[in-house]
Amino acid sequence: MKNQLFTQKAYIDGKWIESDKTFEIINPSTNSLIGSLPDLTINDCTKAINAAHEAWLSWKNRPIGERCAIVRRIFELTVQYKNEFAEIMTLESGKPLTESLGEVDYGNAFVEWFAEEGKRAYGETIPSLNGNMRLSTIKQSVGVVAAITPWNFPLAMISRKLAPALVSGCTVVLKPASKTPFTAIALAKICELAGVPKGVFSVVTSKDSKGLGKELATNPLVRKLTFTGSTEVGSMLMTQAAGTIKRVSFELGGNAPFIVFDDADIDAAVQGAIAGKFRNAGQTCVSINRFFVQESVYETFSQKLTAAVEKLKVADGFVSGSQVGPLIDKNAIDKVQNHVQDALRKGAKITTGGKHLEGNFFAPTVLVEVADDALIQSEETFGPICALFKFSTEEEAIQKANDTPFGLAAYFYSENIRRCQRVGEALEAGMIGINTGLISNASAPFGGIKQSGIGREGSKYGLDEYMEIKYLCQNK
């Protein structure tokens, strides 16, 4: 491949690593081979952690202005290599090229944000009650950070962990998803070019997610674990990290509701629904999973939504105009099919789609009259399926929306300002989209409540995740 960022090597302690043992990375759209990467061992992972610890001892003492300037350079180089990044991302994740280009901008916005926000890690002075002491706080880097990231946003899920960690003075060992590791390696190349010192950022590639995951979650030199992925794996990692009382931040599964009230602008709601449902073929943790539509507008909304879904272009991500690419693998297809079949058995009807196309492609689908006990109500589908439930009152909508152990994103449409405030406060989720299907940006806190996670990424809160508050008590 003629792409300057494409490298079939891992990156540890500033060295490009090869190995006799490798694993293959497959394009989910064509099922063809993209390339292979070293299948590193737990021992290699330990070496990367040791190097990160060594590097931390000097990185944390670099002036913050210098650290921010290096992170700013990562931002600038990423802009320069935007097309190279996007090509690799579409190849390994399958997402349409326009979405990959969008993800480069989105992920890189966090890098730009933290290159600035890093300068504002303020401490405080605290009035001493008896006047005998000088009390103050300073913020210092947590230490070595282990990051484990998923395949659905191969770049952005890394950027928003790496940038705040680096400006804070932390060093990072990353284990990217084994389905999309080339994007992570491309970022390591950019970091090298930007002047990130050796050991400050290492990328360990491996098929052995469980083995390396355990090492990252239990090695005492790692002071913080940040993970984006499933609740199941997050829960296991949290148990492992408990042994050495590590700081954790987790961004886990969701089951986002999207409520359409009778006072909504229905056309706007349809537009929001398409944006919030079909990005990355429905494979995002903030993807709408359950549509709750008030009975008086149910028919209108379902018809307009069906018409909009029918217009979506399903194609390989490199085909011009592609809007919905493949799912990540056959397991994802099986899960989607299972959810559709289950809903149909319980009385739902298909107004469009419902079919497995060839390979890993599934037709964008609308299901109406979905029963409350359908699997799709309780489990995250992670696919291009709109499941429409009906409600009659605002209380019922809120109760149904909150009837899940998850609490990442929730969306609703209403033109009534009092209702907007009321419902926004009542929904149990970390992020609420009001008359919009897209909520995430670098200056806002991204994260979940309940079993959807701990901690926030982006915004000023995203910086605190990588810093400790130290209190200084000085005798006058």
What's the min distance (Å) between Cβ of 313 and ligand ADP?
Answer: 25
Comparison of 113 and 227: residue with beta carbon closer to ligand ADP: 227
Comparison of 52 and 233: residue with beta carbon closer to ligand ADP: 233
Token pair for 249: 């931040």
- 154 sits in the region (left: phi over 0; alpha: psi -120 to 50; else beta) called alpha
From the candidates 251, 380, 394, 457, which is the catalytic residue? 251
- Residue 274 vs residues 269, 278, 289, 435, 451: alpha-carbon distances, Å: 9, 6, 12, 13, 26
Does 289 contact ligand ADP by CB under 6 A? no
Does 210 contact ligand ADP by CB under 6 A? yes
What's the min distance (Å) between Cβ of 148 and ligand ADP?
Answer: 5
Distance CA(230)–CA(232), nearest Å, equals 5
Please give the distance of CA 234 from its chain centroid, rounded to a whole number. 13
Does 178 contact ligand ADP by CB under 6 A? yes
Comparison of 98 and 209: residue with beta carbon closer to ligand ADP: 209
Does 462 contact ligand ADP by CB under 6 A? no
Does 458 contact ligand ADP by CB under 6 A? no
Comparison of 236 and 439: residue with beta carbon closer to ligand ADP: 236
428 labelled catalytic: no
- Residue 52 vs residues 45, 185, 201, 237: alpha-carbon distances, Å: 11, 17, 7, 20
What is the DSSP track for 281-332?
A: GG-STTSEEEEEEEHHHHHHHHHHHHHHHHTPPB--TTSTT--B---SSHHH
Q: Find the binder of ligand ADP among 27, 29, 149, 226 (CB under 6 A).
A: 149
Contact 17, 10 (CB under 8 A): yes
What's the min distance (Å) between Cβ of 453 and ligand ADP?
Answer: 12
User: What element of type H or E holds 98?
Assistant: helix 97-117
Site residues (CB under 6 A) for ligand ADP, limited to 389-428: none
Beta strands 22-26 and 33-38: pairing type? antiparallel
Beta bridge partners of 260: 293, 413
Residues binding ligand ADP: number (CB under 6 A):
14
What's the min distance (Å) between Cβ of 319 and ligand ADP?
Answer: 25
Q: Which residue has the tokens 């090597």?
A: 9
Contact 122, 467 (CB under 8 A): no
Does 317 contact ligand ADP by CB under 6 A? no
What's the min distance (Å) between Cβ of 6 and ligand ADP?
Answer: 20
Binding segment for ligand ADP (CB under 6 A), chosen from 148-156, 307-315, 386-394, 422-430, is 148-156
Q: Which residue has the tokens 């990005």?
A: 279
Does 41 contact ligand ADP by CB under 6 A? no
Comparison of 143 and 229: residue with beta carbon closer to ligand ADP: 229
Token pair for 243: 């042994």
Does 177 contact ligand ADP by CB under 6 A? yes
Comparison of 237 and 387: residue with beta carbon closer to ligand ADP: 237
Report which residue's Cβ sits closest to ligand ADP.
213
Site residues (CB under 6 A) for ligand ADP, limited to 74-103: none
Contact 367, 388 (CB under 8 A): yes
Q: Find the binder of ligand ADP among 148, 288, 333, 454 (CB under 6 A).
A: 148
What's the min distance (Å) between Cβ of 447 and ligand ADP?
Answer: 16
Site residues (CB under 6 A) for ligand ADP, limited to 216-235: 229-230, 233
| Residue 33 buriedness (CB in 10 A; 0-12 / 13-18 / 19+) | exposed
Comparison of 58 and 235: residue with beta carbon closer to ligand ADP: 235
Distance CA(347)–CA(218), nearest Å, equals 47
Does 213 contact ligand ADP by CB under 6 A? yes
Among 121, 116, 112, smallest CA distance to 74 is for 112
Distance CA(140)–CA(468), nearest Å, equals 5
What's the min distance (Å) between Cβ of 175 and ligand ADP?
Answer: 6
Comparison of 72 and 247: residue with beta carbon closer to ligand ADP: 247
What's the min distance (Å) between Cβ of 20 and ligand ADP?
Answer: 22
- Residue 369 vs residues 270, 349, 356: alpha-carbon distances, Å: 18, 6, 21
Active site residues: 251
| Chain residues in the site for ligand ADP (CB under 6 A) | 148-151, 177-178, 209-210, 213, 229-230, 233, 236-237
